Amino acid sequence: MAACGSLSSRIVSGSRTACSTLTPYIRSAAASHLLSRKPDTKNSSTHRLANAGPRCDLRASGPHRLYRTSSLGTSGNSSDFASGVEEKTPALVLSDAQRRTIYALSTPPGKAGVAVIRVSGPDALEVWRGLVKTRGEGKGKVKACEPEPWKMHRCEIVHPGSGEVLDDGLAVFFKGPRSFTTEDVLELHVHSGRAIISSVLNAISLFPFCRPAERGEFTRRAFEGGRLDLTQVEGLRDLIDAETEIQRKLALRTAGGSTRARLEELRNETIQCLALVEALIDFGEGEEIEEGVFEQARARVLKLRDTIRHHLSDNRRGEIMRSGVRLAIFGPPNAGKSSLLNFLAQREAAIVTPVPGTTRDILELSLDIGGLPVIVADTAGLRKTDDIVESIGVDRAKQLVESSDVSLCVLSAPDVLVRSQGGDWDLRLPSPVAPLVKDDTFILLNKTDLMPPSALAQLPSGTTWAVSLSTGHGTQAFMDSFARALHNSLLVENGLEAEEPLITHARQRVHLENALEFLEAFLETPPEDVVFAAEELRYAAQAIGKISGVIDVEDVLDAVFRDFCIGK
Ligand SMILES: Nc1nc2c(ncn2[C@@H]2O[C@H](COP(=O)(O)OP(=O)(O)OP(=O)(O)O)[C@@H](O)[C@H]2O)c(=O)[nH]1
């Protein structure tokens, strides 16, 4: 987890008083920043969204810090710089849009070996100059010096006003565009403690052109700078959230650009087909261009449609791998469902008693089963009941079983194994349970300690196991086999390891489904309506582009970046 907002905002709120101690150095830096900067001309990539306006609009106003314009020179005492409030000369107010350099704690707040504070934006170097005093080889005296980009510098971090040493640490300067955000980035590695972090963030807040970062703002800048597309942004967020090996591997590949490349292929192919149809509109068949162009486009769109259909018929594997397999444990009362949940969780998460009907509502836990993320739900025992609370629990249990990805029916072996006249043991499912047991339902026979061994000799293998959760007998074999079965049900297709899913988020699926609809609409359009046909292809390309954000996607950006933490 990266740092959350409260710490930095609390620290920044005290910054106006601290401004009174600023040195002439910062004042001149601020002055040159405000008065001599040219407007940012870098915002030209297709990824870039409308950002801040010109950074030095002296007419702008806002609720932020106030500075006297007359003090923005190279002389005068530091108190001149504190605030324009009591001064007669007009105050200069910087809006958030003008303060383009952002900073935040990028590691979790609290006691730890190291905390990393990130500064990104056009003035990161100014922050270095004000805060970082580097040490030469050995134990030389510290002094201000320019950073060697991408190299870790041993340094002292000092208060830019008083020169007081705040901490001894490391600093590294990434020269844009070869940085995460594509801007100049400064990283300060300090000891992680509340007072240290607080003092360093406070010191950075004294620079008038800096402001605290918002949630996911560093990553958003990486997106706006063209370093990441939206699928990579989502992959990065998933990587931070990953709790199991499968999640980590999938997220790492997505963050590394595998989805981006595959989508780019689909979009390029759509655009190629569009180009063929556009050519037909512009020149007309049989004149300047060869015949059969529309058929060529159709043939390619057919292939494209099949590829997209294939990606969409993935049983939501990517979303399930990312967010977890939903496993419902169900069965009659007193079978041992809660005992199983506790066994899987390795703790007393659910109440276990000999009283049938103890579990009334759904209890969910996120667990790692054989590297797979699994959201396991314990449910109320299924039986006919007049108890209103219990019957609500039973209804909820049934709904959950129907909507889960995988279900496991727990039965008490002595209750369901019945000896036939021929001496064989038959499995009799209780009537409230039977309708929910499907071909792909896993079955666990519990309480084998109460059964003769002969009763368990003929159990079908693969998806039915027999254990005693009380004695532990059979539980290890069950776990190994169940984890394998879960893995196979999710990640194996026709006996082979399923291909890596293209879609890992519901948002991506919606856009890909839209693209498919437009392609199908194109295929239904007759050649005479070539203009409409071209429109369908254009919409299809746009729908694919929305997944990676290569076209204007302002509406989806907030949704994607909202779940990030501050500092990321
Ligand atoms: N002999 C024996 N008793 C068991 C075993 N597993 C669980 N029990 C007991 O069976 C009783 C019911 O266990 P639970 O785990 O609460 O069963 P449940 O299916 O969640 O029950 P409900 O809450 O009624 O739905 C408890 O007294 C457990 O100690 C087992 O393997 N052998």
- Average pLDDT (43-61) is 30
Ligand 1 atom closest to Cα of residue 351: 16
Q: How confident is the model at residue 50 (pLDDT cuts 50, 70, 90)?
A: very low
- Average pLDDT (95-123) is 90
Say yes or no: CB of residue 433 within 6 Å of ligand 1: no
| Residue 558 pLDDT | 53
Q: Provide the terminal-to-terminal Cα distance of the chain, rounded to the nearest Å.
A: 10
Say yes or no: CB of residue 335 within 6 Å of ligand 1: yes
Say yes or no: CB of residue 334 within 6 Å of ligand 1: yes
Q: What integer best gives the mean pLDDT of the chain?
A: 80
Q: What sign has the CA pseudo-torsion 431, 436, 437, 442?
A: negative
| Residue 293 pLDDT | 82
| Residue 156 pLDDT | 93
CATH number of the domain located at residue range(s) 5-224 in this protein: 3.30.1360.120
Residue with the nearest Cα to atom 27 of ligand 1?
354
CB 250 within 8 A of CB 500: yes
CATH number of the domain located at residue range(s) 234-314+503-548 in this protein: 1.20.120.430
Element (H, E) at 245: helix 245-255
Q: How confident is the model at residue 493 (pLDDT cuts 50, 70, 90)?
A: confident
Q: How confident is the model at residue 62 (pLDDT cuts 50, 70, 90)?
A: very low
Tens-digit pLDDT profile for residues 148-183: 999 999 999 999 988 899 999 999 999 989 999 999
Non-local (6+) Cβ contacts of 13 within 8 A are none
| Residue 465 pLDDT | 92
Query: Mutate which of 351, 352, 411, 450 to test ligand 1's pocket (most atoms within 8 Å of Cβ)?
Result: 352
| Residue 287 pLDDT | 58
Tens-digit pLDDT profile for residues 74-95: 233 333 333 333 333 444 566 7
Q: Is the pLDDT of residue 27 over 60?
A: no
| Residue 149 pLDDT | 93
| Residue 20 pLDDT | 35
Query: Higher pLDDT residue, 81 or 425?
Result: 425
Say yes or no: CB of residue 311 within 6 Å of ligand 1: no
| Residue 34 pLDDT | 41
Type of residue numbered 186: L
Q: Which CATH class is domain 322-497?
A: alpha beta
- Could you give phi then psi for residue 412, rounded to 5 degrees? -85, 115
| Residue 562 pLDDT | 55
CB 251 within 8 A of CB 322: yes
Query: Higher pLDDT residue, 140 or 64?
Result: 140
| Residue 92 pLDDT | 54
Ligand 1 atom closest to Cα of residue 380: 25
- Average pLDDT (50-63) is 30
Pairs from 277-283 (Cβ < 8 Å, separation ≥ 24): 277/530, 277/533, 277/534, 277/537, 278/534, 280/530, 281/530, 281/531, 281/534
What gap in Å lies between CA 31 and CA 17, rounded to an integer?
20
| Residue 561 pLDDT | 54
Say yes or no: CB of residue 381 within 6 Å of ligand 1: yes
Say yes or no: CB of residue 333 within 6 Å of ligand 1: yes
Say yes or no: CB of residue 379 within 6 Å of ligand 1: no
- Which stretch of 204-208, 373-377, 419-423, 473-477 has the lowest confidence by average pLDDT? 419-423
Q: How confident is the model at residue 454 (pLDDT cuts 50, 70, 90)?
A: confident
| Ligand 1 mean position, distance from CA 338 (Å) | 7
- Average pLDDT (198-204) is 95
∠ CA 187-192-193, nearest 5°, is 135
Q: How many CB atoms lie within 10 A of CB 474?
A: 20
Non-local (6+) Cβ contacts of 482 within 8 A are 369, 408, 442, 465
The angle that helices 258-283 and 230-241 make with each other, rounded to 10 degrees, is 160
Specify the pTM.
0.69
Residue with the nearest Cα to atom 1 of ligand 1?
447
CB 308 within 8 A of CB 519: yes
- What is the percent of the chain where pLDDT is above 90? 56
Query: Higher pLDDT residue, 219 or 57?
Result: 219
Q: Is the pLDDT of residue 35 over 60?
A: no
What gap in Å lies between CA 301 and CA 540, rounded to an integer?
11
Ligand 1 atom closest to Cα of residue 334: 21
**What is the domain partition of the chain in residue ranges?**
5-224, 234-314+503-548, 322-497
Given this chain, do its domains 234-314+503-548 and 322-497 carry the same CATH topology?
A: no
| Residue 567 pLDDT | 59
Say yes or no: CB of residue 198 within 6 Å of ligand 1: no
Q: Is the pLDDT of residue 443 over 90?
A: yes
- Could you give phi then psi for residue 41, rounded to 5 degrees? -105, 5
Ligand 1 atom closest to Cα of residue 358: 23
Interface predicted TM-score (ipTM) of this complex, two decimals: 0.99
Say yes or no: CB of residue 469 within 6 Å of ligand 1: yes
What gap in Å lies between CA 167 and CA 193, rounded to an integer?
11
| Ligand 1 mean position, distance from CA 471 (Å) | 12
Say yes or no: CB of residue 371 within 6 Å of ligand 1: no
What gap in Å lies between CA 19 and CA 224, rounded to an integer?
32
Q: Is the pLDDT of residue 364 over 90?
A: yes
